[in-house]
Chains A and B, each alone.
Chain A
């Protein structure tokens, strides 16, 4: 099964991190562990929510708002797509993700089309 891990953390704390522009050692180790286990599918870090834009369309009107969809105490800052046997295995990876120790890792199962 495939799962999305959504990494939430306090941007203010992260931006104070001098290693902010690179991949920190703890994330590099986590990435390596997932690749070795065959769990890693893809992933990306996002620019801070100050660079977010939210778009919706009503009738012929396009509304463009600066900022993320919702203001939250911790901000969505990156994601992984992983392959795991089940939700418990995905939870184990989420707990090993460095973000779990200072933020929150949300797990969302990817949609599985019903068997034809």
Chain B
């Protein structure tokens, strides 16, 4: 089963990270990525996002565009990056989420990907 893993960090707290903190994070992610590679599971590497102030939210109502600066929802932690993995079940996904370095800095939300094969309507 494929899962989307959504990584959230507290951007305000991360702004106080020292160079050493970032180096540790990079090293922890290096080890995490190496562990996933060794486990030989289908994995698409993390894609990091620009910080949430660069987000924009778009709606279309009655043909009119409403564009707002900022993410959809203001939350204590902000979506920072994501990756996908293919593992047998949710327990395995939880185990990888817990090993993800970001689980210690923020949170990792696990969302099963919906496999769609047919076109309807």
What mask results when residues 51 to 66 of chain A are scored 1 for a CB within 8 Å of chain B, else 0? 1111111100010100
What mask results when residues 62 to 84 of chain B are scored 1 for a CB within 8 Å of chain A, else 0? 00010100011101010101101
Q: Closest CB of chain A to B68's CB: distance in Å? A: 9
Contact in complex: A57, B55 (CB < 8 Å): no
Q: Closest CB of chain A to B79's CB: distance in Å? A: 7
Contact in complex: A107, B103 (CB < 8 Å): no
Is residue B6 within 8 Å, beta carbon to beta carbon, of the partner chain? yes
Inside 8 A of A45's CB, which chain B residues have their CB?
A: 113-114, 116
Of B47, B59, B94, the most chain A CB neighbours within 10 A belong to B59
Contact in complex: B73, A70 (CB < 8 Å): yes
Contact in complex: A4, B47 (CB < 8 Å): yes
Inside 8 A of A70's CB, which chain B residues have their CB?
A: 73, 75
Inside 8 A of A106's CB, which chain B residues have their CB?
A: 55-58, 71-72
Q: Closest CB of chain A to B113's CB: distance in Å? A: 5
Contact of A22 with B118 at beta-carbon distance under 8 Å, contacts A108-B55, A109-B54 already known: yes
Contact in complex: A44, B113 (CB < 8 Å): yes
Q: Closest CB of chain A to B38's CB: distance in Å? A: 21
Contact in complex: A21, B94 (CB < 8 Å): no
**A51 to B114 CA separation, bound complex (whole angstroms):** 11
Contact of A22 with B121 at beta-carbon distance under 8 Å, contacts A54-B107, A55-B98 already known: yes
Q: Which of A58, A78, A87, A112 contacts B56 (CB 8 A)?
A: A87
What mask results when residues 31 to 68 of chain A are scored 1 for a CB within 8 Å of chain B, else 0? 00000000000001111010111111110001010001
Residues on A facing B (Cβ under 8 Å): 4, 6, 8, 19, 21-25, 28, 44-47, 49, 51-58, 62, 64, 68-70, 72, 74, 76, 78-79, 81, 87, 90-91, 94-95, 100-101, 103-112
